[in-house]
Amino acid sequence: MHEDILEKMIVHVSDTCVHHKMHHYVMRLLEQQNNLHNRKIIMLCIGSDRYIGDALGPLVGSYLEESTSCIIYGSLDHPVHAGNLVEV
């Protein structure tokens, strides 16, 4: 494993600033990658809107579609789950 990997991120469920903390954490991870400016970023958000408790991936994917220029696979409109993962 790469030696510069950040420590794991732990946040409390009631933390109202978690989106800012996660943004900075992910950006620091991406900055460690070689040739990042020459590569497209792809986010894979896995989960299903059909099962309670499994919709976090599609919810995050829908949010990311509206707020980033990354390529997003998995949203509420087009979820990625065990049944269609191979197709994606």
For residue 80, pLDDT beyond 50: yes
Cβ partners under 8 Å of residue 75, min gap 6: 45, 58, 61, 62, 65
The percent of residues in the chain predicted with pLDDT above 70, rounded, is 93
Rounded Cα distance, 23 and 56, in Å: 17
Break the chain into its structural domains and give their ranges.
Answer: 1-39, 40-88
- Mean pLDDT over 2-27 rounds to 80
What's the pLDDT at 61? 92
Rounded Cα distance, 10 and 13, in Å: 10
> Is pTM, for the whole model, over 0.75?
no
For residue 3, pLDDT beyond 80: no
